[in-house]
A and B are shown apart, each in its own frame.
Chain A
């Protein structure tokens, strides 16, 4: 596909490419304490080159670049094999919410340290009894002078084992399933917070349970109106499901690695699956670049989410089948790909969204 990049975009692409070539080095898993701090240092390094959040306004550490340039950045980033983004919950989920629903004060206070990796954010959506049925959540926020007291339990909180702060939904009134929820941010080191890491299937604590026992949150850490949290959360849910979390650069790079792998380990029986995965990554790229003027949001983001998560599984399964059991460099991605159809709203939920809200099928 001819993207016909203009000269400033080409210049930016070249800058990103050469900067990454000079700075990328392998880090330990971000789900270990040492690896987490290495990834935080990497975020600081990225920020020092103003590359951590290129699409944000300059005042918050970005470059005011558009979606096309951001996609170019992502392609270069993944092609270079650069580290996973320990700050992704913040920069891809919380930040869009703050841009849409936050106050000027919140943006000025929260975004710059997020962009520098000084504050790493965890998400706190799910609860033991509230997974796909998120609106049934039971953790509460009760009114106190100047703020709120949080009480309850969150789980599957990505990065929470080592992160600094978290954001999520809390019940502030009993009226209605959705209307009684409020979007709040809290400090993971505040009094009353207990974090219990949960080891993932690679053996490392990639997520955690969070127990909240009368944790104080000041009023200025409420995002949007009290009781309007569901709408605030859902208005940016598309960011997690759609482009920003899993840009095509990631899959195009992985598919390229898969093709290389096939060249070194040619197995004719697997050739079609290799090409299919490669074609899938290309199709996702074409889908994304083709919809730049009208990026997938709302229900359309569900289409994207189903596509990339299943592509990721197919791609990694093919790599594992090529290599057999011993697959250094692929094993972690393979295990993590299994989570793709589950997080950010399971693919079954996404299919309900597509069927009911796009195709208009009856509930």
Chain B
């Protein structure tokens, strides 16, 4: 990390240490703390250039912030807004960038309806379906997209069919948006249905945004896995049984050593996720690593981890929710298998 990135990491970490209250955020309208989100936007964690009203942070800086939000499981519309901003920037539509990016930089929540699941109607990503082509004109759009991050409350809604990027006014009659609570209480998800919805085609969709989404999610997973391990190490150093800290027992030490191996290799894979193949590899690897680490967190904490009050179950649920988000490990293994490995 550059000195600037380290400073950003420290700033975000100390902000979250002081102000992130995930239990309260879960209960808040739309599932996040609006004041905290405003402060994050002031720090400038979104990857929006200065000439579009942003801080000039790049994607690398946003990933640093996402890793920190992952550590504390803080619910915030950073991932959704980052993807929307990236999709706009990549579309090359200066008018839309000039109009929408300053609002996003100021904290207006933006969602990107990007079909990942096989049940969605507009799965035409080139990697998976190179034969599919669609008309490149304005709507109307018909679509059902599940698991859209912050999709039910976003003021700015972007939709892609895998070929083009569209802007859709979420307030129109042809758009229904439904909050769909999932096992991970710290993640706001929605199903979006478009029926004859008026849409404005902004430009080309690039699958690069899909890779960015995977890399961003990986950063968050790595942060959460690293913190889950830290909490486990701290706990086993203080919990005493048989007259000694349980962390001194080799049976537990070796399990935590394995967790560390997973966290460090996942971190490397996440940071190296820069193209289609490395992003898919990282998604599979980080998802499995975080699931394993979170499961071990529960086992090594013992009974306390089975309580609602303890945060271990939140890490565990985040791990499994994130593993399924943006395509399950199995989906990406399928993609990797089909893309002939090279």
Residues of A within 8 A of B (CB): 1-2, 256, 259, 271-272, 275, 278-279, 282-284, 286-291, 300, 303, 306-307, 348, 350-352, 354-356, 358-363
Contacts and interface: CB of A to CB of B under 8 A. Distances in A.
A350 B257 contact: yes
B188 to A, nearest CB: 30
A283 B250 contact: no
Nearest to B342: A256
B128 interface: no
Contact of B268 (A2, A291, A306, A362): A291
Contact of A358 (B260, B274, B284): B260
A177 B261 CA distance: 30
B253 interface: yes
B248 interface: yes
Interface in B263-316: 264-266, 268-269, 271-272, 274-275, 277-278, 281-282, 284-285
B268 A354 contact: no
B297 to A, nearest CB: 14
Nearest to B337: A275
A248 to B, nearest CB: 11
A24 B271 CA distance: 35
A303 B268 CA distance: 12
A275 B336 contact: yes
Given A1-B275, A2-B275, A290-B271, A361 B253 contact: yes
Given A352-B253, A360-B233, A362-B237, A303 B337 contact: no
Interface residues of B, number: 37
Interface string B229-258: 100010011000000110110101110111
A3 B250 CA distance: 40
B247 A361 contact: yes
Contacts of A275: 333, 336-337
30 contacts: A1-B274, A2-B274, A259-B341, A271-B337, A272-B330, A275-B337, A279-B284, A279-B285, A282-B281, A283-B265, A283-B268, A283-B285, A287-B264, A287-B265, A287-B268, A289-B272, A300-B264, A303-B264, A303-B265, A307-B265, A351-B253, A351-B254, A351-B257, A351-B258, A352-B250, A355-B256, A355-B257, A356-B253, A359-B257, A361-B253
B269 A287 contact: yes
A361 B236 contact: yes
A24 to B, nearest CB: 21
From B272, B274, B285, name the one whose CB has the most chain A CB atoms within 10 angstroms: B272
A180 B258 CA distance: 33
Nearest to B272: A286
Interface of B: 229, 233, 236-237, 244-245, 247-248, 250, 252-254, 256-258, 260-261, 264-266, 268-269, 271-272, 274-275, 277-278, 281-282, 284-285, 330, 333, 336-337, 341
A290 B252 CA distance: 29
A358 B275 CA distance: 31
Contacts, number: 104
A275 B330 CA distance: 10
A359 B233 contact: yes
Contacts of B254: 348, 351-352, 355
The 10 closest A-B CB pairs, nearest first, are A287-B268, A355-B253, A286-B272, A351-B257, A354-B257, A362-B248, A351-B254, A361-B247, A290-B268, A1-B272
B54 to A, nearest CB: 25
Nearest to B341: A259
Most buried by A among B257, B265, B272, B333: B257
A193 B31 CA distance: 75
Given A1-B272, A271-B337, A361-B247, A354 B265 contact: no
Contacts of B247: 355, 361-362
A352 B260 CA distance: 12
B39 to A, nearest CB: 31
B291 to A, nearest CB: 14
Contacts of B266: 283
B248 A282 contact: no
B242 to A, nearest CB: 13
B261 to A, nearest CB: 5
B272 A303 contact: no
Given A1-B274, A291-B268, 16 more contacts: A1-B275, A283-B266, A283-B268, A286-B281, A289-B272, A303-B265, A351-B253, A351-B257, A352-B250, A352-B254, A354-B257, A355-B253, A356-B253, A361-B247, A361-B253, A361-B256
Contacts of A361: 233, 236-237, 247-248, 252-253, 256
Contact of B269 (A259, A286, A354): A286
A282 B258 contact: no
A286 B268 contact: yes
A351 B274 CA distance: 31
B272 A290 contact: yes
Contact of A306 (B257, B284, B333): B257
A306 B248 contact: no
A355 to B, nearest CB: 4
B248 A363 contact: yes
B79 to A, nearest CB: 22
A301 to B, nearest CB: 12
Contacts of B333: 272, 275, 279
A354 B260 CA distance: 8
A278 B340 CA distance: 12
A291 B265 CA distance: 11
